[in-house]
A and B are shown apart, each in its own frame.
Chain A
């Protein structure tokens, strides 16, 4: 009797293994949907609650982002007005399906892929700020490496002086390799200056500067007007 029950349990386990394996390999979107459902906080959708405090916080983030965009545009005009792109690149609005689940990387999976015209290396924006670039493109989805990924690196420029620096990703991204004596101050806007990405996209604001451990360069810590863990939609530049 007990032996028969064990045998039945094994049959059920076997059937479940086959079903789950099929879902993982052929219809992973079911897993993303389940994950989205589990990620919802008791007060509402993931990353959003209905409280007035959070609404105010969201509004503050938007205003701070707009402020950074304007400052970035000002910096661009002062330094490289002649080099500004003359045409507006097309954008693809995409929803964030899923995120890297551990703390070793910072990647987002979006619901726009090569079928929608997404190309590898494309800039990815949120509220007008550059948050990363497309790392891998699939037919219906694309994987975005955000600037909060530990191995993310990108040449950038800083402030109205256009000082060069290297954005180094991580939980707390920093700018390194800034020449000693460069005109970089707290409040300066950091913007993109990398090949393959439109010039002058705002990234962050400098909070503080210091000298690197080897005393050869300056480095800067940054502030961001958004929380990358709560991003639900992004714009991918064509």
Chain B
């Protein structure tokens, strides 16, 4: 396997740890989703599916599948599809994909909560953009 693949696994583990540590402090930032969306710009579909499944294994909180996890998993795949179709440049495509991906996540899973209070959403996006930028820099 390529070195970049191993590096991405380490980044994903770091994203998981950061997400759980922040969550324990009551701050929810989707570091994992941010990392997966960035991975969509650097890996082929099979490797991306491996990362997505690994993330699901770690974050799935109950024995049965849920719509939340399904949406979470499909967003990086959709980002990959858009990247391949529209051939975005990385510097523009990654931020746009993160913002759109997070927006889609909130819109599908909790539209009412999302519309009533935008602060958690904006904080989540900001955290995702910063972390996503760092991941893109590492994988460059």
Binding site for B on A (CB under 8 A): 9-10, 12-14, 16-17, 20-21, 23-24, 28, 30-32, 34-35, 38-39, 41, 46-47, 98-105, 107, 109, 136, 138, 141, 143, 150, 171, 227, 229-230
Q: Which of A9, A13, A34 interacts with B58 by CB under 8 Å?
A: A34
Q: Which of A9, A17, A34 contacts B53 (CB 8 A)?
A: A17
Q: Encode B1-24 as 1/0 by CB contact (under 8 A) with A.
A: 110010000000100110111011
Main secondary structure of the interface of B (DSSP, over half): helix
* Chain B residues closer than 8 Å to A13, beta-carbon distance: 46-47, 49-50
Query: Which residues from A are CB-within-8-Å of B57?
Result: 20, 23-24, 28, 30-31, 34
Q: Check B24–A46 contact: CB distance below 8 A.
A: yes
Cβ of B49: which chain A residues have Cβ within 8 Å of it? 13, 17
Q: Which residue of B21, B56, B109 contacts A39 across the interface (Cβ within 8 Å)? A: B21
Shortest distance between the CB of B25 and any CB in chain A (Å): 7
Tally B residues with Cβ within 8 Å of A: 40
Q: Are B50 and A102 in contact (CB under 8 A)?
A: no
Check B58–A104 contact: CB distance below 8 A: no
Closest residue of chain A to B1 (Cβ to Cβ) is A12
What would be 12 A-B contacts, judged by CB atoms less than 8 Å apart? Answer: A10-B46, A16-B53, A20-B54, A34-B57, A98-B62, A101-B61, A104-B106, A141-B62, A143-B62, A229-B23, A229-B25, A230-B24
Give chain B nearest CB distance to A10 CB in angstroms: 6
Give CA–CA (A103, B30) in the complex, Å: 9
Question: Do A31 and B46 touch across chains, with their CB atoms under 8 A apart?
Answer: no
Complex CA distance for A9 and B46, rounded to whole angstroms: 9
Partner of A103, one of B16, B72, B124: B124
Q: Which residue of A lies closest to B124 (CB)?
A: A103
Query: Within 8 Å CB of A38, what residues of B?
Result: 13, 16-17, 20, 58
Closest to B14 in A: A38
Asked if residues B61 and A100 are in contact (CB atoms below 8 Å), the reply is yes
Q: Do A24 and B60 touch across chains, with their CB atoms under 8 A apart?
A: yes
In the complex, chain B residues 71-125 whose Cβ is within 8 Å of any chain A Cβ: 72, 105-106, 109-110, 113, 120, 124
